[in-house]
Structure 1
Amino acid sequence: MELVSNKTALNGIINVPSDKSISHRSIMFGAIAEGTTTIKNFLRGDDCLSTLKAFQDLGVKIEDDGTVITVYGNGFSGLQPANEALNVGNSGTTIRLIMGILAGRPFTTKLFGDHSIAKRPMNRVMLPLNSMGAVCQGHDHTEFPPLTITGTEKLQPIAYEMPVASAQVKSAILFAAMQAHGESVIIEKEKTRDHTEDMIRQFGGTIDVFGKEIRIQGPQTFIGQEITVPGDISSAAFFLVAGLITPNSNIQLKNVGLNPTRTGIIDVIEQMGGTITVEETAHADNKAGTLTVTTSQLNGIEIGGEIIPRLIDELPIIALLATQAEGTTIIRDAEELKVKETNRIDAVAKELNKMGANIEPTEDGLIIHGKTPLHGAKVTSYGDHRIGMMLQIAALLVKEGTVELEKAEAISVSYPSFFTDLNKLYQ
């Protein structure tokens, strides 16, 4: 499709889509809790709907009236063997977290997804779960999906030092540890998003966190809750950057989740000299607020270390931001980008360079030389929603030529109304 280009003066207010991470987990915790869980402001994107359908296939009654989703949980023991393999679509969160839940169930489940999921490494989840007593196997004795997992009600607790900084891996182990008999200890490489830990407490469970060390006692039972999902800062990020780099712009984003483990992009914007204001609002269970950005003069910075897990999903759009900053920006310690929906290090560099950027991919990140004007090109999302949205924001700056995006449909994975919301800002 041809992307919108050559725009100035983006102005307006946007309610960004609901948080993807919390939407996934609200279904999962509702399914394993005792009693009814109601979910308001659920993200009805493809990924989260994959999670909803997977738990329906596991025997959980879930109703959606278009406004509120109601999950009728019967505890871990209420999960039943699926009649057929579970299709996780494009969702890495679904496949990895559900493995942790299935590890403690005494039946065999097959899991598969799209071509992107088939390339995502699963040993990082399978190895710790297997050491706890589950039997997880990848396709043809590899670590890649389709997967088969045979769970057991006799899961052993684990003491595990994580080799990668990954909230998905941590959460999978936590879901298994909730069903094991005894105390499990997880030590994170770097602190990652903590929505799972928050929801354990919200649903009546207990967990202790001391810096990067997490201790959880099993088995635990959970009680159904009422959840209102805040907006997703990862989706807000695209319009934050649009407002900073498009001339004469002022964009306000409402109900954005402000969990401190997710707000690295705000820190980066401030470090680069961007004008951003954060107005916090009360939210029942999750910190949220209104973010406002205006067109800014930006400077290159170095991004690495412990901040990376706090902005891993935002790095493609941060790379675009850096192309419009004066000087060089270096992103390092971001090897995880290679095993997302696509190799995001290579995808960002290749596609933005087609448009006139000057970006060097490295083993663990990117070196971005700014400030560079952008021009028209034929680009692709590689089927990755975040690459697709980033390229549309880049296209706004293009004054010469058109930008043609292949695989634009991937954007519906996390932000079905993305183009509609963008359209509101320049009308």
Structure 2
Amino acid sequence: MAPLTGTIAVPGDKSISHRALMFGALAVGTTRISGLLEGEDVLRTAVAMRALGAEVTQLAPGAWEVSGRGVGGLVEPADVLDMGNSGTAARLLCGLLAAHPIFSVMTGDASLRGRPMKRVIDPLSACGARFASRAGGRLPLAIEGAAEPLPLDYRLPVASAQVKSAVLLAGLCARGTTRVVEPEATRDHTENMLRHFGATVRVAIEGHGRVIELDGQPELIAAPVVVPGDPSSAAFPLVAALLVPGSAIRIGGVGLNPLRTGLFATLLEMGADLTFADERLEGGERVGDLLVRAGALRAVDVPAARVPSMVDEFPILAVAAAHAMGISRFRGLGELRVKESDRLAATAALLTANGIRVEIEGDDMLVHGLGGPPPGGGRVVTHMDHRIAMSALVLGLGARAPVVVDDGAFIETSFPGFSDLMNGLVGNGGGSAVAPA
């Protein structure tokens, strides 16, 4: 495989893109968004905001405007809201819909219809909303929002930025203070954006977690949003460059929010040649460039406390661990069982199919690294999970034999242009880096 070289930018952060559209719809005035991720997941959110009465307009690639209706001003949609493959959009939208006196029905694709929504239904029911769903709280989901939503005081049973955000979004429409206690600190894009649009948010440290308080019924004022590059997307070319000998790349403008950089910290512990440059603040979020060079990696023991800061990156970390010297242990991965697929099982199957020994012990995963290229040559079942597909394709770059995925179509939901970007990094040796089925 030819070395990967060059300077690239990855698509905008998906978490921030969803929130920018939603907060723009709740603000007074017109919000300008630059760098918006235009994958299918985020475009579903844009369509949903239009259905709820906001004016959402694309001005140019990545440049959008949202004319909002103010807090509490969303209108009843005329049709079912189809959120496609996006669990983030569905769960956050539940918070908005629960606190508006409107009736709505939400559905998604086959993968999303299999994911549990009870974790947001339970706390949101306490604000006065009523829900009707399939068994286990699964979509399709009918929501009758509360006429006078009550503020919530909720302690998260597990660390989840999506559940936290759903509760805070519902709290925007309630009189009084909404309070959320999280056992482990999770990504805080919702809190940052609430402040950016003018809401009063207080955060206090409690053990390993945090207590977040939001004063309800603020007037959110439209504010420009610059969406940084998604660190979860940057993970794929980053790991690829670490594994393919002779590679050296620069990934520009990546979000460096401390609650999203668990993968970077872990790779550094593994001995990765990774440095940060041009660090800066944009729209309340830390941003910088990643400078990556190929080199040997060693095994790592990842503590459970780090999971919330890298929950989406474990499949690609497992690929890095397969190349490392020694046995890596990833602890406390139970949350991976309820992602787009059972990512714990799917990641183990991905590695096993390509000659790498993996063990699952409860919620821990052990990867027996080979200290060099794995055999490869396997066919990976992706279960309609874009991160499994991309991780398998990156594994194939450094393996001794090509790796095939059964379906690469879902990559576009989060990383439009993935194949073109990766192929563009191939050096003078020519050929293609990845070619999803």
TM-score bracket for the superposition, by shorter chain length: over 0.9
Q: Shift of residue 31 of structure 1?
A: 0.2
Provide the rounded CA distance (Å) in 2 between the counterparts of 1:137 and 1:178: 23
Q: Indicate the SS of the match to 2:252.
A: strand
Equivalent residues in 2 for 1:182-201, closer than 5 Å: 182-201=176-195
Q: What corresponds to 1:265 in structure 2?
A: 263
Q: Shift of residue 284 of structure 1?
A: 2.8
Matched residue type, 2:114: K
Q: What corresponds to 1:221 in structure 2?
A: 219
Q: Higher relative contact order at CA 8 Å, sep ≥6: structure 1 or structure 2?
A: 1
Provide the rounded CA distance (Å) in 2 between the counterparts of 1:164 and 1:310: 14
Contact 1:381 1:410 in 2 (8 A): no
Q: What corresponds to 2:433 in structure 1?
A: none
Structure 1 unmatched ranges of 5 or more: 1-6
Equivalent residues in 2 for 1:148-163, closer than 5 Å: 148-163=142-157
Contact 1:244 1:295 in 2 (8 A): yes
Provide the rounded CA distance (Å) in 2 between the counterparts of 1:216 and 1:169: 15
Q: Is 1:179 paired with 2:178? A: no
Q: Indicate the SS of the match to 1:121.
A: coil
Provide the rounded CA distance (Å) in 1 between the counterparts of 2:232 and 2:190: 17
Provide the rounded CA distance (Å) in 2 between the counterparts of 1:362 and 1:219: 46
Q: Is 1:26 paired with 2:20? A: yes
Contact 2:102 2:145 in 1 (8 A): yes
Q: Indicate the SS of the match to 1:146.
A: strand
Q: What corresponds to 2:204 in structure 1?
A: 210
Q: Shift of residue 85 of structure 1?
A: 0.7
Q: Is 1:126 paired with 2:121? A: yes
Contact 1:129 1:136 in 2 (8 A): no
Provide the rounded CA distance (Å) in 2 between the counterparts of 1:283 and 1:182: 32
Equivalent residues in 2 for 1:11-410, closer than 5 Å: 11-67=5-61, 68-139=63-134, 141-211=135-205, 212-285=210-283, 286-371=285-370, 373-400=374-401, 402-410=402-410
Provide the rounded CA distance (Å) in 2 between the counterparts of 1:168 and 1:220: 21
Q: Indicate the SS of the match to 1:273.
A: coil
C-alpha deviations, 1:275-313, integer Å up to 9, x for none? 110114334312111101111221111112221100000
C-alpha deviations, 1:307-356, integer Å up to 9, x for none? 11000001110011111111110011111100000000000111221111
Identity percentage of aligned residues: 40
Contact 1:378 1:405 in 2 (8 A): yes
Q: Indicate the SS of the match to 1:426.
A: coil
Contact 1:374 1:397 in 2 (8 A): no
Q: What corresponds to 1:3 in structure 2?
A: none
- Structure 1-normalised TM-score? 0.96
Q: Shift of residue 79 of structure 1?
A: 1.1
C-alpha deviations, 1:115-174, integer Å up to 9, x for none? 1111111111000000111112212x5311111111113111121110011100000000
Structure 2 unmatched ranges of 5 or more: 428-437
Q: Indicate the SS of the match to 1:142.
A: helix
Contact 1:183 1:217 in 2 (8 A): yes
Aligned residue pairs total: 419
Contact 2:199 2:214 in 1 (8 A): no
Q: Shift of residue 86 of structure 1?
A: 0.2
Provide the rounded CA distance (Å) in 2 between the counterparts of 1:420 and 1:274: 25
Q: Shift of residue 228 of structure 1?
A: 1.1
Provide the rounded CA distance (Å) in 1 between the counterparts of 2:91 and 2:72: 20
Provide the rounded CA distance (Å) in 1 between the counterparts of 2:72 and 2:120: 22
Q: Which moved more, 1:360-369 or 1:29-38?
A: 360-369
Q: Shift of residue 15 of structure 1?
A: 0.6
Provide the rounded CA distance (Å) in 1 between the counterparts of 2:114 and 2:101: 28
Q: What corresponds to 2:431 in structure 1?
A: none
Q: Indicate the SS of the match to 2:312.
A: helix
Provide the rounded CA distance (Å) in 1 between the counterparts of 2:291 and 2:90: 35
Matched residue type, 1:356: G
Q: Shift of residue 65 of structure 1?
A: 2.1
Provide the rounded CA distance (Å) in 2 between the counterparts of 1:259 and 1:280: 14
Provide the rounded CA distance (Å) in 2 between the counterparts of 1:96 and 1:184: 18
Q: Shift of residue 100 of structure 1?
A: 0.4
- Structure 2-normalised TM-score? 0.94
Matched residue type, 1:352: L
Q: Indicate the SS of the match to 1:154.
A: coil
